Structure 1
Amino acid sequence: MDRGMSVSLWCEEVEDDQSEDRDQTEGRAQLRAAWDPTVSGHRVIQRLLHTEERYMPSMLYVALIQRDPERREELAKWALEVCCDCGCDEAVFPLSVSLMDRFLSASLSLPVSPYCLAAGCILIASKLTECDNVTADTLCAAAEYSFQHSNLREMERVILATLRWDTAAVTPQDFLPHFLSSVEQRGDGDGGESEEQRLSTLRRHSDTLAAMCACDSRFLGAPPSLVAAASLNCALRGLGNKGPSELALMSEVLAELCQTDLAVLQCYSEMIEYALHQRLRGGLQQSPTEKDDEVETERPGTPTDMREIDF
């Protein structure tokens, strides 16, 4: 190699007319590899459980956010809207929120343009998980050009430098397919609906509940494995096609998989169920004090039927 050649690890995407035409004709649909059962099982789950602690935000950051969660939740919801509008893979949003929380946990201060920070996290997460990533121009347009392309590129550099390029964080979506595979081995098929459709619906509902938890600061300090297990447990209850004994068995399996107490799993499942009820009845318009008072007196007695919700 020529010693005078400049070597850089920075990835600069360049869009040409041909790639733009291809994106317009093909959209963002990508071929995905089929689920490989050989990369699942107890060994993989144990590895994820060991790794997730490395990507947890600091307790100081969690405590500060719990005092004033509105701004953080606003940024998370905006990131979710952008990811949905751009047709991103389901792994992009939770990873982008994890990057944002870890960055804020390290700096403990919002940058001048908070939406530029959220957009930079989306850009990094998309590059890491998708072969056809979201472009910087798209993110600038989503923020109504409150920041420029150059600002976003600089923010990307700041995020990567702060996190020391350690961006492959563990999220609840990393646990869901492994938990679902383990629960599937303990469950039976349902009449009237094929097993493949049932598992697809269960995974979709679990993904949605986990994404809802990423937007809700009350779940900020929870390990991703616990959020994934509680989301799947809540989805199983919400589908309403399992008996009480089957649901109790699956809850025990999930608690064992994420290495937590069954009571803790049930508590977080109730929290997710309550957060879902709040969204369905427009409870986000209430003040935090009112919502805290209602938690003690208005916990749902029966799970919401997930089939009645338009995800």
Structure 2
Amino acid sequence: MSASLWCDEEGRVSQKPQLRAQWDPSMSGGRVINRLLQSEERYLLSPLYISLIQREPHRREELAKWVLEVCSECGCEESVYALSVSLLDRFLSASLSLPVSPLCLSAACILIASKVTGSEPVSAGNLCAAANFCFLPNNLRDMERVVLATLRWDVAVVTPHDFLPHFLFSLERERVEEDGQTDRDSQALLSTLRRHVDTLVAMCVCDSRFLGIPPSLISAAALNAALSGLGSKGLQLGTNELATLCQIDLGVLQYYTELIEGALTEHLRSGPRERKMCPEVEKEEEALEEIDTERASTPTDLREIDF
């Protein structure tokens, strides 16, 4: 008698997208954040890989942008993109070599990430079509096995998106403690803040300069950069509180906040050229440009931005 644990999505037709359960605020707090901080240390990349990529970052960033394009086309959650690139980096860090088809490797990482953290797995056929059928579904599944074997099936990686709900919950709790209630304006502001931070995190995930930085620090720095433009309006979680939650030095958090803001400006300067190369990421570019435009006109007020 043989048994297979292989997850085969072939022939699986979904009539409607699956719904993800709402985030449970009771599952937040210092204990949960501390556990995430301990877990993220297991998935740090090797210094050798980081140094090699930062010498010639273009190939890796091209793959990361292609992953973003595919995730956008397939309607994946933001966490799927971050996990896909994390799996890609971990595989390359372990092997220090690209396979014959880098797109097949990237597609395999998307396939795994969509199964782990997505509410609806991306089909193998869609991934092959996104790569103009430079590989077949059988090749993709073989590559999936290679990635899983290389990573020893340890694919539930901690990403910046794992920290965001806990940081935002602390933000909302500060609002409740001050005013004694929550209102629609506060919820709308938190929603805008989340979309803003998701855009900045996606930019950091793609940028090779942020390789090796712990996910908690990327999440906190992106949130701090967003807060600096949103103004207070009753949201009083400042840099000190974020540094305490991440258990890092205040100066380190401020440094990476400024680094993200500088990367945003630099990223927008090359926006027109990148849109011609990859039209599907134009929406992401426009979101970043809208952030930068609002900062230039009213540096302390981003409340009118709609992401």
Which TM bucket (shorter chain)? 0.7 to 0.9
Q: 2:132 maps to which residue?
A: 144
Q: What amino acid sits opposite 2:10 in the alignment? A: V
Give the alignment of 1:61-210 within 5 angstroms: 61-187=49-175, 194-210=185-201
Matched, 1:221 2:217: no
Q: Distance in 2 between matches of 1:266 and 1:134?
A: 37
Q: Which runs of 5+ in 1 are unaligned?
A: 287-299
User: How many equivalent pairs are there?
Assistant: 283
Aligned 8 A contact 1:183 1:254 in 2: no
Give me the whole-angstrom Cα distance separating, in 1, the residues matched to 2:96 and 2:251: 33
Say if 2:84 and 2:109, in contact at 8 Å, map to a contact too. yes
Aligned to 1:268: 256
2:8 is aligned, of 6, 12, 17, to 12
Report the Cα offset of residue 38 of structure 1. 1.1
Q: Name whichever of 300-309 and 277-286 sits farther off.
A: 300-309
- The alignment partner of 1:91 has SS state of helix
The reply to whether residue 253 of structure 1 matches residue 248 of structure 2 is no
**Structure 2 CA distance, aligned partners of 1:310 and 1:114?**
35
The one-letter code sitting in structure 2 at the alignment partner of 1:210 is V
Counterparts of 2:42 and 2:305, CA distance in 1: 35
**Match of 1:240?**
231
Structure 1 counterpart of 2:264, which letter? Answer: L
Over alpha carbons, which structure has the higher Rg?
A: 1
Q: Is the 8 A contact 2:192 2:305 kept in 1?
A: no
- Name 2:280's counterpart in structure 1: none
In the TM superposition, what is the alpha-carbon distance from 1:242 to its structure 2 partner?
5.2
Deviation by residue 1:201-226 (Cα, 9 ceiling, x = unmatched): 11111111111100000111100000
Contact 2:220/2:253 (CA < 8 Å) preserved in 1?
yes
User: Contact conserved, 1:278 with 1:284, CA < 8 A, in 2?
Assistant: no
8 Å Cα contact 1:140/1:149 also seen in 2: yes
* Preserved contact between residue 111 and residue 121 of structure 2 (Cα < 8 Å): yes
> Higher RCO, 1 or 2 (CA under 8 Å, sep at least 6)?
2
Q: Which residue of 1 aligns with 2:290?
A: none
User: Take 1:304 and 1:72, find their aligned partners in 2: how far apart are those partners?
Assistant: 34
Task: Report SS of the residue matched to 1:134.
Answer: coil
Q: TM-score, normalised by structure 2?
A: 0.85
Q: CA deviation at 1:279?
A: 2.4
**Change beyond 3 A, Cα 1:307–1:142:** farther
Q: Which amino acid aligns with 1:177?
A: P
Q: Is this contact kept in 2: 1:186–1:250, CA < 8 A? A: no
Q: Which letter does structure 1 place at the counterpart of 2:57?
A: P
Q: 1:180 to 1:44 in 2, by over 3 A?
A: same
Q: Distance in 2 between matches of 1:310 and 1:240?
A: 16
- How far apart, in 2, do the equivalents of 1:106 and 1:229 lie? 27
Q: Which whole-Å CA distance do the structure 1 matches of 2:171 and 2:29 have between them?
A: 11
Could you tell me how far apart the structure 2 residues matched to 1:278 and 1:285 are? 13
Q: Name the counterpart of 1:294.
A: none
> Does the CA contact (< 8 Å) of 1:57 and 1:101 recur in 2?
yes
Q: Deviations over 1:18-56 (max 9, x none)?
A: x25x2xxx3x4x323222111000000000000000011
For residue 267 of structure 2, what is the aligned residue in structure 1?
Answer: 279
Distance 2:162 2:182 in 1: 29
